[in-house]
């Protein structure tokens, strides 16, 4: 540079004069450099404007670097991501102990606030999520939202060309018998949900001449009877029958249904073992004895009682009376007799139960297991855990925790109930004669330990309930689930099935001894 020359740098006491000489000497060079930059920039701007005028507002700049060879192949984005993922160093930052402790406290508080804990007469906790770590992992999942998403996906209409192939693949994977379905043209099922809820051909499920027949296609998980207040306990897994079916409180609206004199309302404290799970009758069916709500209170009614009967405006009166009369005759009902206030089975009777598991490949509709009258239903908004045998053996209070619909009524031998239990991806339970039932819906659920109740008084003026004949269709699930039967019968009632046995609708479940 020129200002390093000796004739520019001179010693003296006047530094400003030296600086002036430096500037004067470097001015031509600086002016020349500025001129070159200005001309180059002006030429570049002119070239850009000319390109825009000739080509329109096309891209004139390139994202490639100035040193990149235009003929070189660009690196794909996924390679850049892989390189960044593998080459970027990982840095670990310690979390303070206080933050971890607060997180554990928040998780525990959330669990305690979501799970209602009761204790029985002996002080044992019931309706509580217990089991191995796999069960707690299931409890942390948003099962209700997952089931609603699954229901939405099942309702999506499938392409017509895909339906036969997709449904045949599903039938092969889950063992469905396509020869039994009423609609043989698989392309007629618009969605997976329609195929799951398929109807069978008439006559493919003959009804056995027995007191009790199977209400669904499935596998027998467990069955048994009551001997006193306590029933066989397996692996210490217990839950209250009262929590499963709910109880009546003093504020419950009174009904005037027509009962025969031998129809008691059963509320034994301990009932049956469902697949190794013991529970009391009160919690499954609901007790009618008034009690003061305490920490050990079973589920109670939430909201007003409604009549959810489905009354067809153009139904044939003679046919309806003939149907109701046939049910009444088989039940041995005399309409003039009133309901007995007994809360225990009459002498010579006992309580029996059975549990039937519906696999995903089974026929998903359920039917009436006997001639009986459904007087009321109780809807419990609960969880949607899987009801497979694997989970049933490990999750305590499974049928109490899950969403369920308890159908309560009577038959010729006394009390009778049928409980469809929801499961994962099976939040939707349909009852054909209930116009108000909605399961697994969005919105804030009712308080824990409560249920909504409806009656079917308008369904039959003769019987003051919904009369059903054996094997009459009642409703169904959108996928496999479980059905629990609890009923009163003579002491000589004998089951005709074995644990683990496959049964179909209409097959013999049991009968009284000859």
Q: CA torsion angle for 402, 405, 411, 413 (degrees, to 10)? A: 20
Q: Beta strand 372-380 with 404-411: parallel, antiparallel or unpaired?
A: antiparallel
Query: Which of 207, 165, 202 minimizes the C-alpha distance to 180?
Result: 202
Residue 467, pLDDT > 60, answer yes
Q: How many residues does the chain have?
A: 514
Helix (H, G, I), strand (E, B), or coil: what is residue 427? coil
Question: What per-residue confidence (pLDDT) applies to 204?
Answer: 93
The winner for highest mean pLDDT among 67-76, 103-112, 188-197 is: 188-197
- pLDDT band with cut points at 50, 70 and 90 for residue 217: very high
| More confident: 74 or 172 | 172
Q: How confident is the model over 65-103, as pLDDT tens digits?
A: 455 555 556 778 878 888 888 888 877 777 777 777 787
d(CA 87, CA 90): 9
Say what the pTM is: 0.58
- Tokens coding 10: 């001179």
Which percentage of the chain shows pLDDT scores above 70? 46
Residue 125, pLDDT > 60, answer no
Residue 288, pLDDT > 60, answer no
Question: What per-residue confidence (pLDDT) applies to 269?
Answer: 35
Mean pLDDT, all residues of the chain = 66
Question: What per-residue confidence (pLDDT) applies to 3?
Answer: 43
Residue 341, pLDDT > 50, answer no
Distances (CA, A) of 332 to 259, 260, 342, 408, 446: 10, 8, 19, 18, 39
d(CA 49, CA 46): 5
Question: What per-residue confidence (pLDDT) applies to 307?
Answer: 52
d(CA 221, CA 498): 9
**What would the DSSP string read from start to end of 21-52?**
HHHHHHHHHHHHHHHHHHHHHHHHHHHHHHHH
| Range in 6-15, 86-95, 373-382 the model is least confident about | 6-15
The winner for highest mean pLDDT among 100-114, 338-352, 490-504 is: 490-504
Residue listed under structure tokens 């209400």: 215
Residue 123, pLDDT > 50, answer no
Question: What per-residue confidence (pLDDT) applies to 6?
Answer: 45
Residue 231, pLDDT > 50, answer no
Catalytic residues: 217, 367, 481
d(CA 482, CA 479): 10
Identify any residues that bridge with 410 across adjacent strands, giving them in sequence order: 373, 415
Query: Which of 320, 321, 317, 222 minimizes the C-alpha distance to 278?
Result: 222
- pLDDT band with cut points at 50, 70 and 90 for residue 461: confident
| More confident: 406 or 122 | 406
Q: How confident is the model over 470-504, as pLDDT tens digits?
A: 999 998 887 657 888 888 899 899 999 998 899 99
Query: Which of 472, 487, 387, 384 minimizes the C-alpha distance to 431?
Result: 472
């Amino acid at each position: 540079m020129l200002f390093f020359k000796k004739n520019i740098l001179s010693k003296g006491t006047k530094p400003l004069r030296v600086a002036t000489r430096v500037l004067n000497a470097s001015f031509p060079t600086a002016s020349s450099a500025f001129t070159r930059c200005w001309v180059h920039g002006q030429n570049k701007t002119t070239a850009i404007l000319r390109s825009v005028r000739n080509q329109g507002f096309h891209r004139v700049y390139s994202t490639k670097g100035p040193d990149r060879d235009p003929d070189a192949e660009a690196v794909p984005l996924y390679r850049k991501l892989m390189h960044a993922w593998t080459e970027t160093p990982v840095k670990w930052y310690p979390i303070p102990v206080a933050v971890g402790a607060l997180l554990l406290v928040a998780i525990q508080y959330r669990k305690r606030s979501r799970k209602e804990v009761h204790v029985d007469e002996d002080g044992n906790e019931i309706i509580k999520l217990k089991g191995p770590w796999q069960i707690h992992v299931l409890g942390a999942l948003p099962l209700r939202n997952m089931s609603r998403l699954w229901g939405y996906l099942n309702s999506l209409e499938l392409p017509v060309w895909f339906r036969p192939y997709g449904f045949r693949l599903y039938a092969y994977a889950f063992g469905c018998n396509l020869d039994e379905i009423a609609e043989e043209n698989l392309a007629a099922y618009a969605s997976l949900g329609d195929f799951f809820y398929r109807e069978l051909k008439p006559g493919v499920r003959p009804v056995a001449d027995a007191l009790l027949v199977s209400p669904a296609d499935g596998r027998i998980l467990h069955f048994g009877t009551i001997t006193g207040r306590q029933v066989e306990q397996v692996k210490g897994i217990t839950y209250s029958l009262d929590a499963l079916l709910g109880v009546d409180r003093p504020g419950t609206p009174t009904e005037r249904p027509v009962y025969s004199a031998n129809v008691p309302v059963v509320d034994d404290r301990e009932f049956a073992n469902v697949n190794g799970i013991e529970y009391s009758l009160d919690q499954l069916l609901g007790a009618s004895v008034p009690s003061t709500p305490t920490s050990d209170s079973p589920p109670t009614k939430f909201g007003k009682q409604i009549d959810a009967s489905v009354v067809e405006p153009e139904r044939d009166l003679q046919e309806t009376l003939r149907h109701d009369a046939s049910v009444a005759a088989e039940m041995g009902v005399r309409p003039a007799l009133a309901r007995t206030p007994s809360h225990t089975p009459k002498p010579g009777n006992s309580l029996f139960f059975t549990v039937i598991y519906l696999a995903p490949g089974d026929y998903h509709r359920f039917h009436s297991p006997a001639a009986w009258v459904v007087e009321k239903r109780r809807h419990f908004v609960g969880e949607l855990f899987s009801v497979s045998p694997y989970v049933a053996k490990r999750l305590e209070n499974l049928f109490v925790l899950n969403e369920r619909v308890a159908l309560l009524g009577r038959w010729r031998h006394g009390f009778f109930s049928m409980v469809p239990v929801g499961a994962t991806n099976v939040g939707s339970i349909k009852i054909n004669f209930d116009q108000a039932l909605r399961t697994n819906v969005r919105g804030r659920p009712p308080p824990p330990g409560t249920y909504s109740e409806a009656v079917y008084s308008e369904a039959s003026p003769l019987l003051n309930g919904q009369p059903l004949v054996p094997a009459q269709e009642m409703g169904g699930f959108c996928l496999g689930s479980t059905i629990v039967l609890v009923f009163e019968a003579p002491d000589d009632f004998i089951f005709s099935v074995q644990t683990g046995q496959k049964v179909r609708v209409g097959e013999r479940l049991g009968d009284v001894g000859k």
